[in-house]
Structure 1
Amino acid sequence: MAPNDPDPVDPVEPPDATSRGDARPLPPEMPISLTILRGEDAPPVRAAPWREVRVAFLVPTTSTDAASGVRHLLDEPELHFSPGLRQGTLALMPRRSALLRVVLEWEWSVEAASFSVNSFEPEPFTSDERDALESWLRATARRLHVFEGALARAVARVDHDVARGIDTSSPESSSAGAAAVARAADAVTGASGSDDSRPGGVRADDLATAGPAATTMRTATLGTRLASPAAGAPHPVVDVTLPDASDPGWEVFVDATSRQTLGYRRTLDDDGDAYAFSYLVADDVDDVTPDDLVDWHDQHIQRQLLVEDARQAYVHLLAGLEPPVSVQYTV
């Protein structure tokens, strides 16, 4: 491109593009853009400082002592829940220093779940201990299945609050709007069926309406590098979306309040191997730079990490455990 081109684009080619002669330039209709090589796209210097956030969750009273029969078998446990309409998994890493995994897997129905212990040790648990772990995991899987909608909405609330600079997120104090809750509820309904179809006819919103006699409030302290919005910023919170789930290499930046499209991020690949990322400002936006898009994508990654941490903390609390050590913030 000539030096005097009024709308220059920063081109980056894969190392062997010249020899192949098939390098593709960035779209010429995007006058404001920036391309960054994959190895240079997320340097630590761009990370925001660590921030402590306290999040509160409503938990049924039945969860309070749910793990009392197996707690002595666990040392800094990690419990991971992967829900799904057709297939689900509840995986427990009971000890931090052992190559040991306890798994409950099911297809279509939690009631038909299969239990297994995977370990290099021949007998990591006695027969009675295995029975206790299996009973606890089955009860936990049923509880998580029942309250899957509440889990999704609570995590959406934490993401909403922390992204807006709120360091203490709770059901009572949350400023989360109905849209965020509705999106989370729709996602769960689409994946798991209606609330009325759940075991025992229990609805996912029962935690919010059951009252103080049936629920208790538990908290977790999380650490995040998600920065609070800058004062006076024209776009305080920006969502990064995938308009086409089959094309994860094309992401769209959207103002969380106005829903205005601000820009795009395109993954440049060579036969499926990503080598660079292009940040493109939308052509009708005049208060955004490519550097803003880069920063917002960094923050998007931090939001994803926060969501996973908040979700795992809530799963632990619903199972009767304390929040996992791996997600707690300590100074």
Structure 2
Amino acid sequence: MSAVATVLWRGLTVGLVVPARAFGAAVDIDGLLIEPDLHFAATPTTSRLMLMPRAGAFSRLLLEWETLPEIGVFTASAWGPAPFADTELARLETWMRDVAVTLHSTRDRIREASERAVHDASSGLDTSLPTTVPEGAHVVSAVVGTRVSGPHPDAPFGVVDVSPARATGPESGEMLFTQRSTGRLLGRRITTRDGDEIASARFEPAVDASDTSADGTSAHGTSADGARAATEADLAEWYEQHIFREVLFDDVWQVYVHLAAGLEPPVSVLYTAFGG
């Protein structure tokens, strides 16, 4: 029996809390963009906002900053004829800086919304809605396509989360599989590398799911529900779902970025009945 419900493609309705200033944010660049693709990445040290302004055109606008987007470095590159006049490029730069200010101030909210969507989808829900809405903000919904499934109704473990081993760090190549409801360790995925290449990857089910906790410390005793040990097939299914969850996180993140910028959600991540 599969450990997860079999879903090839489904729609997840995600409610996103968008600041009021996002509405009409792209009015000043109306007509300059054709099916744009906007990406925002934030790290503890640097942030970047990258725009591919027109589908099929080899051009890119980039804004990078360390502390404040208002003083970030803006660059434009294109392969072939320049797609924008100087005045149009100036309008796009102004817009990107304004958008960057919005995203910089709401980056924690973006992350929380993406994590919430993954949590709800992996629980088997078809909707993911915010629990609170700050004053002056609005909830906008989008139906995102995903292959994330909830647990199989008869599966003995329920929802299983996959995360890097805390004791060894994310670079160690060790991933832990834990039962969400109990925190019980069900197994590991061990990756070995040869330089920058993955040399091997193997799944190691926990011999006794109650012997070890998720942080790698001993947790003697017996399982309260007497659940069977996970198998390698279980771990493989859960790891595949982990990959789907990472994709969903990125897709919800990008939907929020587009909405905060005053753009329509990217068509590439929205749900259609045909999976495209």
| Coordinate RMSD, CA, aligned | 1.8
> What is the CA-CA distance between 1:132 and the residue it aligns to?
1.1
Relative to 1, partners in 2 of residues 1:103 and 1:273: Cα closer, same or farther, differing over 3 Å?
closer
Contact 1:262–1:281 (Cα < 8 Å) also in 2: yes
Contact 1:234–1:287 (Cα < 8 Å) also in 2: no
Match for residue 185 of structure 2?
A: 261
Q: Select which of 296, 309, 317 maps to 2:238.
A: 296
Contact 2:208–2:229 (Cα < 8 Å) also in 1: no
> What is the CA-CA distance between 1:209 and the residue it aligns to?
5.0
Match for residue 231 of structure 1?
A: 153
Q: Map of 1:208-219 to 2, 5 A cutoff?
A: 208=132, 210-211=134-135, 214-219=136-141
Match for residue 283 of structure 1?
A: 207
Q: Select which of 49, 54, 58 maps to 2:17.
A: 58
Q: Unaligned stretches of 5+ in structure 2?
A: 1-5, 210-227
Contact 1:50–1:223 (Cα < 8 Å) also in 2: yes
Q: Select which of 82, 90, 111 maps to 2:49.
A: 90
Match for residue 223 of structure 2?
A: none
Match for residue 74 of structure 2?
A: 115
Q: Select which of 63, 68, 91 maps to 1:104.
A: 63
> What is the CA-CA distance between 1:153 and the residue it aligns to?
1.0
Contact 1:105–1:114 (Cα < 8 Å) also in 2: yes
Relative to 1, partners in 2 of residues 1:103 and 1:256: Cα closer, same or farther, differing over 3 Å?
same
Distance in 2 of aligned mates of 1:220 and 1:321:
13
Contact 1:50–1:224 (Cα < 8 Å) also in 2: yes
Distance in 2 of aligned mates of 1:112 and 1:85:
17
Q: Map of 1:58-77 to 2, 5 A cutoff?
A: 58-77=17-36
Task: Give, as a single letter, the amino acid of the residue that structure 1 aligns with 2:144.
Answer: L
Q: Map of 1:133-282 to 2, 5 A cutoff?
A: 133-172=92-131, 208=132, 210-211=134-135, 214-243=136-165, 244-270=168-194, 273-282=197-206
> What is the CA-CA distance between 1:254 and the residue it aligns to?
0.9
Instruction: State the TM-score, normalizing by the size of structure 1.
Output: 0.71
Match for residue 219 of structure 2?
A: none
Match for residue 199 of structure 1?
A: none
Q: Secondary structure at the match of 1:278?
A: strand
Contact 2:29–2:91 (Cα < 8 Å) also in 1: yes
Task: Identify the structure with the greater helix proportion.
Answer: 1
Contact 2:39–2:257 (Cα < 8 Å) also in 1: yes
Deviations 1:37-91 (A, max 9, x none): xxxxxxxxxx841111111111111101001111311111111001123211100
Runs of 4+ residues over 6 Å off in structure 1: none
Match for residue 217 of structure 2?
A: none
Distance in 2 of aligned mates of 1:159 and 1:294:
19
Identity value in percent? 38
Contact 1:85–1:108 (Cα < 8 Å) also in 2: no
Aligned residues: 249
